[in-house]
């Protein structure tokens, strides 16, 4: 096996699955009148949907998607952005969830050099949203602000606690999450210490916004109860149930004429409105950031809401091809917008920000994506920012290691915010 092939199998996660030899497929083609067929190749790359993969990928990937700014069709950045944002919102089924709700402050805590406000607010649907706002104790005047977007992590029991804390004494499963993905840090706290107001909220179907087992019919509870959440085994059981429930939620939202991305986008926009309306926040210096599912949310919020002056997407930048052929099984229903790939590749969503400052941080051994497709996504974004005359406003870095947002990556992200939000 040559070096290039070994590298392909390594980065796509197909090592050990085997690859059909060219001779087998050539013989098959000869015997079945498929000589010269465009989808019979000398070496068929195994993919998640088998022989249908190359065909399905060709439906969108044979040319640049119709609404990408990479197309020669577009030259006026503003006209393109306005047209494309509207089309994307139509595809998503974006919701109007009303006016900014009343915010209740439940507790103000001084912790680790920060003032921590534990707040909640009621949206038109679901249980009240819990959130926390963090800022330096000695802060004065209007500060730059960042909306911290928590990850998915296969854990819907937790939300904001994944990246923020207001005390040292947190449950062991929270400490484990911080250790696995953030090198032991609650990164929202670390950013707030640098002179920012940072807000983190539970988004749709996570934490305080999760679907409780008692909310669904008994026969759909898989024989479990989540009432005693002091036991780790019960939390694990709930998260397993919630993972299986994702397909039900996605189907139901499609039946309602909307989509999962539309719902969390609306909730994240509302959180941004609450953050930007605070008296201690400069609404002209807003950012957002997140790892994994938080990176996905950064793509959507940063791409579609012009209030985000600076964004950092961590561990979630690839192409639709990557999801289609190789990695959809590792991901949530929170990603998918029907028909959108005809018009925008996944990186094109983030490119709607151009020329605003945009950072992408990737991990070289991230098993959720293939390295080649991550690199293609980087090139796509760079092409758009170059065409927009904003090459210096885009930066992508690759770090050694698995899926994570470790301290070295946090340092680069925080410096990016400092560069553009504190200037």
CB-based contacts of 399: which residues, under 8 Å, 6+ apart? 361, 362, 363, 364, 406, 408, 409
Facing residues of 382 across strands? Answer: none
Its sign, for the CA torsion 289, 294, 295, 299, is: negative
Over 80: is that where the pLDDT of 1 sits?
A: no
Domain 103-421 has CATH 3.40.640.10: no
Q: How do the domains of the chain map onto residue ranges?
A: 3-68, 103-421
Over 60: is that where the pLDDT of 200 sits?
A: yes
CB-based contacts of 297: which residues, under 8 Å, 6+ apart? 149, 203, 264, 265, 268, 288, 290
pLDDT at 218: 82
CA separation for the pair 148, 188 (Å, rounded): 6
The pTM for the full model equals 0.89
The first and second tokens of residue 303, run together, are 């791409």
Over 80: is that where the pLDDT of 228 sits?
A: no
| Kind and range of the H or E run holding 255 | helix 232-255
pLDDT at 220: 81
pLDDT at 32: 42
Over 60: is that where the pLDDT of 41 sits?
A: no
Reported as a single tens digit per residue, the pLDDT across 351-386 is: 999 999 999 999 999 999 999 999 999 999 999 999
Angle at CA of residue 390, ends 193 and 91, nearest 5°? 85
The whole-number average pLDDT for the span 29-45 is 45
Reported as a single tens digit per residue, the pLDDT across 233-284 is: 889 999 999 999 999 999 999 999 999 999 999 999 999 999 999 999 999 9
Residue 264 backbone phi and psi in degrees, to 5 = -70, -30
Task: Answer whether 89's CB lies under 8 Å from 304's CB.
Answer: yes
The first and second tokens of residue 72, run together, are 């020669």
**Under DSSP, is residue 354 helix (H, G, I), strand (E, B) or coil?**
coil
Reported as a single tens digit per residue, the pLDDT across 91-146 is: 999 999 999 999 999 999 999 999 999 999 999 999 999 999 999 999 999 999 99
CA separation for the pair 297, 263 (Å, rounded): 11
Q: What is the DSSP secondary-structure string of 85-120?
A: HHHHHHHHT-----SPPPEEEEEEEEETTEEEEEEE
Max Cα–Cα distance, the chain, nearest Å: 78
CA separation for the pair 105, 180 (Å, rounded): 31
């Amino acid at each position: 096996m040559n070096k290039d092939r070994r590298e392909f199998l390594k980065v796509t996660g197909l090592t050990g699955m085997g690859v059909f030899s060219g001779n087998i497929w050539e013989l098959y083609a000869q015997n079945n009148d498929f000589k010269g067929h465009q989808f019979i190749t000398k070496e068929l790359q195994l993919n998640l949907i088998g022989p249908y993969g190359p065909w399905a990928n060709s439906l969108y990937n044979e040319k640049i998607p119709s609404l990408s700014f990479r197309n020669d069709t577009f030259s006026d950045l503003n006209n393109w952005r306005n047209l494309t944002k509207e089309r994307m919102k139509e595809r998503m089924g974006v919701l109007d969830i009303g006016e900014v709700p009343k915010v209740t402050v439940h507790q103000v805590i001084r912790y680790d050099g920060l003032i921590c406000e534990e707040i909640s607010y009621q949206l038109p649907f679901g249980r009240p949203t819990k959130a926390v706002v963090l800022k330096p104790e000695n802060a004065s005047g209007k500060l730059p602000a960042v909306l911290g977007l928590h990850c998915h992590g296969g854990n819907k029991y937790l939300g904001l606690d994944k990246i923020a804390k207001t005390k040292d004494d947190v449950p062991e499963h929270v400490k484990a999450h911080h250790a696995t993905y953030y090198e032991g840090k609650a990164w929202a706290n670390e950013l707030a210490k640098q002179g920012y107001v940072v807000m983190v909220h539970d988004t749709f179907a996570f934490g305080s916004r999760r679907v409780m087992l008692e909310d669904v019919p008994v026969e759909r509870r898989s024989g479990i109860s989540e009432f005693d959440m002091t036991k780790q085994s019960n939390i694990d059981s709930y998260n397993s149930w919630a993972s299986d429930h994702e397909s039900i939620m996605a189907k139901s939202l499609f039946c309602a004429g909307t989509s999962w991305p539309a719902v969390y986008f609306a909730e994240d926009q509302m959180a941004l409105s609450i953050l930007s309306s605070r008296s201690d926040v400069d609404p002209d210096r807003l950012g957002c950031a997140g790892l994994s599912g938080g990176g996905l949310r950064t793509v959507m919020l940063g791409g579609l809401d012009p209030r985000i002056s600076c964004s950092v997407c961590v561990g979630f930048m690839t192409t639709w091809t990557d999801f289609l052929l190789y990695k959809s099984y590792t991901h949530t229903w929170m990603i998918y917008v029907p028909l959108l790939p005809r018009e925008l590749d996944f990186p094109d969503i983030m490119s709607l920000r151009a020329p605003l400052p945009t950072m992408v941080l990737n991990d070289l051994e991230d098993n959720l994506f293939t390295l080649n497709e991550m690199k293609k996504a980087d090139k796509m974004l760079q092409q758009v920012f170059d065409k927009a005359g904003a090459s210096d406003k885009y930066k992508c870095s690759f770090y050694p290691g698995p899926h994570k947002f470790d301290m070295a990556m946090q340092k680069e992200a925080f410096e990016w915010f400092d560069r553009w939000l504190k200037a």
